[in-house]
Amino acid sequence: MPLMAHLKELRDRVFKAGIFLVLGTVAGWFLWNKSSWFEGVFFYLQKPLLDYAESKGYSNVALNFTQVGQGFDLAVKGAIWCGVIASSPFWIYQLWAFITPGLTKKEKRYAVGFIFAAVPLFVAGMTIAYLVLPNAMSFLIDFTPTGASNQISADLYLSFVMRIILAFGLGFLMPVVLVGLNFAHLLSGRAVLRQWRISVFLSFLFSALVTPTSDITTMLLLACPLLVLFALATVICILNDRRRSKNSDEPDYTDLSDDEASAI
């Protein structure tokens, strides 16, 4: 495809993903606060903090709203965050669909498998993050000096929790993106295998940056699954390269120069 066609395709995919994000945000607005049939997303996000405080007998741990309009601001932010999660199957598909112009008809059929792998991994990453949060709370709250009151800003706490959960989900999504790049003839399995040391380093670096505590256990809870997923993605890329080498009908971009310009 010419460069302008790629840009037009990117614009269309971003627009479609944006539509689903807006729809998910509208749903997230109604799910944020407690209703007659649902406790609300806000309740579950503050639950790790309140549960730990209750288990320790801390009666002085609470979320503080320090501004008049902060509740509304957090509801909007939370609705958008819920929209990103609720619309994840759709924007993940749009990511794959943007790659498909470079694939053969047979490879395009793998789009369903891509979605069925990417979405559960995205959800699994967020689930692990939510399970790790009680350990984070125990580590951070215990630094409160005796006799002091830990009045936590709701804005800072919720931003912290939402960022961690989303980062875990995106981290689990990265190996699937590697496979997608391999199917798009942009990354070979041998290239991924040669850089295994960098993959290990980046997995631990990413885990250290996004995990909220400094203990090794929490970091390993993210780093170890990432390493397993990267190893599995590398095996899939290598197997796909071998399958592709036996099929002379598929395009081969490995001989193209990196400096060669595409048609506009």
Residue 237 binned pLDDT confidence (cut-offs 50, 70, 90): confident
> Per-residue pLDDT averaged across 57-80, rounded?
83
Question: What are 135-157's pLDDT values in tens digits?
Answer: 777 777 777 777 776 778 888 88
- Asked if residue 215 lies in contact with residue 135, where contact means CB atoms within 8 angstroms, the answer is yes
- Mean pLDDT for the chain overall: 80
pLDDT at 81: 93
User: For position 255, what pLDDT does the model report?
Assistant: 55
Confidence bin at 77 (pLDDT 50/70/90): very high
Q: How far apart are CA 20 and CA 24, in angstroms?
A: 6
Q: Which two tokens stand for residue 101?
A: 């112009």
**Cβ proximity of 188 and 246 under 8 Å:** no
63 has which bridge partners? 152
Q: How many C-beta atoms surround the C-beta of residue 17 within 10 A?
A: 19
Q: Looking at residue 23, what is its pLDDT?
A: 94
Residue 52, Cβ density class (10 Å: 0-12 exposed, 13-18 middle, ≥19 buried): buried
The CA dihedral of 141, 142, 146, 152, to the nearest 10 degrees, is 0
Query: What is the C-alpha to C-alpha distance for residues 133 and 158, in angstroms, rounded to an integer?
Result: 12
Kindly tell me if the per-residue pLDDT of 261 is higher than 70: no
CA terminus-to-terminus distance, the chain: 9
Q: What average pLDDT does the segment 161-183 reach?
A: 83
**Model-level pTM greater than 0.85?**
no
Q: What is the mean pLDDT of residues 186-207?
A: 81
- Does position 92 have pLDDT exceeding 60, yes or no? yes
Collapse the DSSP code of 112 into the 3-class scheme (helix H, G, I; strand E, B; otherwise coil) and give the result: helix
